[in-house]
Amino acid sequence: MIPFNKPHITGKEVHHIYGAVATGHISGNGKYTKLCQKYFEERWGFKKTLLTTSCTDALEMCALLLDIQPGDEVILPSYTFVSTALAFVRQGAVLKFVDSRPDHPGMDEEAIEALITPKTKAIVPVHYAGVACDMDKIMAIANKHNLFVVEDAAQAIDSYFSPTHITPHPPKGGVAPAQRKEMKGTSRPLGSIGHLGCFSFHETKNIQCGEGGLLAINDERFVKRAEILWEKGTNRAEFFRGEANKYGWVDTGSSFLPGEITAAFLWAQLEELEKIQNKRIELWNVYHNGLSQWATNNNVKQPFVPNYATVNGHMYYLVFPDGDSRTRFIAYLRENGIHSVFHYLSLHASPYYQDKHDKRPLPHSDFYTDRLVRLPLFYDLDQQQYIIETIQKFQV
């Protein structure tokens, strides 16, 4: 069976884990934590970054930093992973779900402003499949209404938003390395545009350490308190930098930081980020080109990439004309030794939140819930041509 995902190992992970152990400091915020955080700050220009044990933890830190209180309203997409919502629900927030776009599973930017009330505190865009939401529109709305923006960039490492709109949409023939380089030179990395950004290093992500995450802080107001929350509500980080003569309990917080062994594993991945990204984008392009004619003939939609976004090779998905054809397709691939999966179940229709949702219909979110399927895409995928040829034999 060709798996849906297989975590890539660079071969240097054990070497760096040994290095972490050799330092005698393996509890976190040591050599490798600092290396990883410095890498993110220097490569993508984040003001401050903090490694976390997961993207979920990074989002929970955001909810604390924004001082979300019971009754505050948070606007987010329904078509997303539950972690996007959990962080704010735990603080007592009321979720206001935005429908997906008709052309893309990401949130419909045009539907955001109608949901804003005097109780609204934040907007949480999710960059689905590593493809940017229209951050110009979202930030303009946030600034107009004095709202915070938290980017859920769990899937969006090394992906960009370009206000100059230089990319054709959808990308003809895929995404060329030269085009991606041009985008990098004129664009802003996802996770750096909102007040806060969150990333995931779960084993299903481009860069992974089994379980891990990162909080990117883009607003200076949150830097000092973020460190305190990160260090269990203490000013321990300041103390060890010599900025305080003692440390103690000064705020709420939790044990959000990972140990050095996790950070060392992640560092091995970051050392080869460019190589990993190029390979994943190459695989994305092969799918996009190889399935183009078949998709047209069978009324199946390929990924749409808006003219302000890049592709980072996180996932390749197809959208079927109905739920029945998707079910048959997944079963057909499994019969041929290929594991494919559907993705999110809309949060507004979930057993936990459906009675709390304000009952607005979200037809596009439901559309993708019923029709979207993800194909295997991972660094070590070596049977992609077989997958494409197998798909080409399927009749919707």
- Which domains can be identified in the chain, with CATH numbers? 13-392 (3.40.640.10)
pLDDT mean over 260-286: 98
Answer yes or no: are the C-beta atoms of 342 and 315 closer than 8 Å.
Answer: no
pLDDT value of position 173: 43
Predicted local distance difference test score (pLDDT) of residue 235? 81
pLDDT in tens, 200-219: 999 999 999 999 999 999 99
Cis amide leading into 170 (omega within 30): yes
Residue 308, pLDDT > 70, answer yes
User: Residue 163: what pLDDT?
Assistant: 80
Question: pLDDT digit string (tens) for 25-78?
Answer: 999 899 999 999 999 999 999 999 999 999 999 999 999 999 999 999 999 999
Read off the pLDDT of each residue in 182-186 and give the average, rounded to a whole number. Answer: 58
Q: Which are the contacts of 335, defined by CB distance < 8 A and separation ≥ 6? A: none
Instruction: Specify the pLDDT at position 187.
Output: 86
* Residue-level pLDDT at 184: 55
Crossing angle for the helix pair 273-290 and 384-392, nearest 10 degrees? Answer: 20
pTM: 0.93
pLDDT digits (tens, 9 = 90+) for 205-263: 999 999 999 999 999 999 999 999 999 998 877 766 667 666 788 899 999 999 999 99
Structure tokens given for 81: 């992973």
* Separation of alpha carbons 101 and 115, rounded Å: 16
Q: Residue 185: what pLDDT?
A: 58
Query: Percent of the chain beyond pLDDT 70?
Result: 92
Q: Edge to edge, what strands does the sheet with 148-152 contain?
A: 48-52, 213-217, 196-200, 148-152, 120-123, 73-77, 94-98
Average the pLDDT over 312-324 and give the result: 98
pLDDT at 136 (0 to 100): 96
Asked if residues 104 and 132 have their Cβ atoms less than 8 Å apart, the reply is no
